[in-house]
């Protein structure tokens, strides 16, 4: 079990509410809302159901955020979900949660967002599709270097990109809502209806757009007042994004007929920006969307190495003495940052970003669901309200909604992509023999030191 004495003090507590809120918003508003409009519509079958899918996806995410906020306020340490699962379920399950994030979820979601972003970048610069992977890797490398400088550099980058991304978002909402001529609700065409997946798959697609909110919890050890800042950042951030996503989707459906959205797929928002503002204005909006996605990448690149760092300090990973290294000047876990970069680059080369996005959501929701159950365990374990700096409102209704949403995600993805699910589950399970090997080597090293 982790307690306050075990919290490492090498990382600076320099992040306030503004930085934390920017990380939540900047991490959430990225590729999902811009690239998933077509797939959500195809699965939902109509514009009304597509809009409802985005709203319900946000409600499920908000319920999850409110639930985890209570847990996070009690455990404001570096590591986030890794720390929560360990404190609730024990060392082995905590390791599995951390292993999942640093080997599967973290690199995969960075690769997915970078992959989507590189599609837009290649189009923006008039480059062929063969440039997508190099562009993605170069961009991730640059953002990693920014974060290596100091955590405040990454935080300032998050604030700047969050402000910058409001420009294309506001433009899409305003022009869609006020200058669109389509009926946003009730649109349906035979082609979309025949190719529809189901409403559950549509909600699953929206959850990629909402995913990433929990990553700010990994910075709990670097916040000035985490018991207050962390819950506020999670709840306010998710609520804001839910409103923005609903307005963007409504604007897109007002501006473009469903036949066009279905045909364009992941290029929907790029087409809309050029149709609304002309070639030059469209280019400027595309640039804003690219900056938006860079902000998303920054939030993920800033937070995932903290999980690697937290695990390395517990000697839970091979080469922990290297992965746990923090630079003396900038106090940054540089080895952990490079480790995540390398894994993400490998995934960029071998996996399609759209499929990665769905598998990312499935993998992390396994442990989200355990965390949602954990709030009931903690309430029973610690009945005194004084130990909870933040209390989930409408308990137990909100945690039940979060738990139902988590179970729904898992079942939907199992039926939607069984081979991919099995692959990612196997990669997570591989962590068990890795942990056994690491502990055996540690024990052998200790035994040798006695002689």
pLDDT at 219 over 90: no
Residues 315, 442: Cα–Cα separation, whole Å = 8
Q: Give residue 48's pLDDT.
A: 87
Query: Which of 125-129, 353-357, 447-451 bottoms out in mean pLDDT, i.e. has the lowest?
Result: 447-451
pLDDT at 259 over 70: yes
Instruction: Return the H-helix or E-strand segment holding 322.
Output: helix 320-323
Q: Give residue 370's pLDDT.
A: 93
Q: Give residue 5's pLDDT.
A: 40
Q: Give residue 6's pLDDT.
A: 41
291-315 b/e (C-beta count within 10 Å ≥ 16 → b): bbbbbbbbbbbbbbbbbbbbbbbbe
Confidence of residue 262 (pLDDT cuts 50, 70, 90): confident
The answer to the question of residue 223 being in a domain is yes
Q: Between the ranges 26-40, 166-180, 388-402, where is the mean pLDDT highest?
A: 388-402
The answer to the question of residue 1 being in a domain is no
Confidence of residue 2 (pLDDT cuts 50, 70, 90): very low
Q: Kindly report the pTM of this predicted structure.
A: 0.78
Q: Give residue 400's pLDDT.
A: 95
The answer to the question of residue 231 being in a domain is yes
Q: Give residue 14's pLDDT.
A: 54
Q: Give residue 373's pLDDT.
A: 95
The answer to the question of residue 7 being in a domain is no
The answer to the question of residue 99 being in a domain is yes
The answer to the question of residue 353 being in a domain is yes
How many domains would you assign to the chain?
1
Residue 341 near residue 144 (C-beta atoms within 8 A): yes
Portion of the chain with pLDDT greater than 90, in percent? 11
The answer to the question of residue 334 being in a domain is yes
pLDDT at 443 over 60: yes
Structural domain of 110: 12-441
Query: Which tens digits make up the pLDDT trace of 287-319?
Result: 888 887 887 788 788 778 888 887 888 788 888
Q: Which residues contact 295 (CB under 8 A, 6 or more apart)?
A: 26, 27, 29, 30, 157, 158, 160, 161, 162, 164, 165
Residue 262 near residue 191 (C-beta atoms within 8 A): yes
Give, in order, the Cα–Cα distances in Å from 249 to each of 83, 106, 267, 416.
Answer: 35, 27, 14, 24
Query: Which of 62-66, 95-99, 268-272 bottoms out in mean pLDDT, i.e. has the lowest?
Result: 268-272
Q: Give residue 324's pLDDT.
A: 81
103-136 b/e (C-beta count within 10 Å ≥ 16 → b): bbbbbbbbbbbbbbbbbbbbebeeeeeeebbebb
The answer to the question of residue 5 being in a domain is no
* Residues across the chain: 451
Higher pLDDT, residue 226 or 54: 54
Residues 292, 420: Cα–Cα separation, whole Å = 28
Q: Give residue 408's pLDDT.
A: 86
281: three-class secondary structure by DSSP: helix
pLDDT at 374 over 90: yes
**Residue 37 exposure: Cα atoms within 13 Å on the Cβ side:** 33
pLDDT at 3 over 80: no
Q: Which residues contact 263 (CB under 8 A, 6 or more apart)?
A: none
CATH number at residue 435: 1.20.1740.10
Residues 317, 435: Cα–Cα separation, whole Å = 7
pLDDT at 110 over 70: yes
């Amino acid at each position: 079990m982790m307690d306050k004495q075990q919290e490492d003090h090498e990382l600076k507590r320099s992040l306030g509410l503004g930085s934390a809120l920017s990380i939540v918003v900047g991490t959430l508003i990225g590729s999902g809302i811009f690239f998933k409009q077509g797939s959500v519509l195809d699965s939902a079958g109509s514009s009304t159901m597509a809009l409802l899918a985005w709203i319900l996806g946000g409600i499920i995410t908000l319920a999850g955020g409110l639930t985890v906020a209570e847990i996070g306020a009690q455990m404001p340490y570096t590591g986030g979900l890794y720390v929560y699962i360990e404190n609730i379920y024990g060392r082995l399950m905590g390791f599995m949660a951390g292993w999942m994030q640093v080997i599967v979820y973290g690199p995969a979601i960075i690769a997915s967002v970078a992959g989507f972003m590189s599609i837009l970048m290649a189009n923006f610069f008039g480059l062929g599709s063969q440039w997508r992977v190099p562009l993605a890797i170069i961009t991730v490398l640059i953002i990693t270097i920014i974060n290596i400088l100091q955590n405040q550099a990454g935080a300032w980058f998050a604030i700047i990109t969050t402000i910058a991304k409001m420009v294309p978002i506001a433009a899409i909402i305003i022009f869609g809502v006020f200058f669109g001529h389509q009926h946003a609700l009730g649109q349906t065409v035979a082609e979309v209806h025949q190719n529809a997946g189901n409403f559950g798959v549509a909600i699953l697609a929206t959850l990629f757009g909402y995913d990433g909110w929990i990553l700010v919890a990994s910075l709990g050890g670097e916040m000035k007042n985490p018991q207050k800042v962390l819950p506020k950042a999670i709840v306010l951030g998710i609520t804001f994004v839910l409103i923005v996503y609903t307005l963007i989707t409504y604007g897109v459906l007002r501006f473009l007929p469903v036949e066009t959205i279905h045909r364009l797929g992941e290029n929907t928002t790029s087409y809309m920006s050029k149709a609304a503002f002309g070639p030059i204005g469209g280019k400027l909006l595309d640039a804003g969307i690219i900056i938006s996605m860079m902000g998303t990448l920054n939030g993920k690149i800033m937070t995932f190495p903290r999980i690697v760092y937290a695990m390395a300090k517990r000697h839970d990973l091979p080469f922990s003495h290297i992965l746990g290294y923090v630079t003396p000047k900038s106090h940054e876990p540089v080895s952990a940052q490079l480790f995540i970069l390398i894994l993400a680059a490998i995934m960029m080369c071998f996996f399609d970003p759209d499929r990665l996005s769905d598998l990312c959501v499935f993998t992390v929701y396994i442990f989200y669901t355990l965390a949602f159950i954990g709030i009931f365990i903690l309430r029973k374990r610690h009945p005194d309200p004084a130990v909870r700096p933040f209390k989930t409102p409408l308990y137990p209704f909100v945690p039940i909604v979060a738990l139902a949403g988590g179970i729904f995600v898992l079942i939907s993805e199992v039926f939607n992509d069984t081979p991919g699910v099995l692959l990612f589950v196997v990669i997570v399970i591989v962590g068990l023999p890795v942990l056994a090997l690491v502990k055996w080597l540690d024990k052998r090293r200790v035994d040798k030191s006695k002689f």
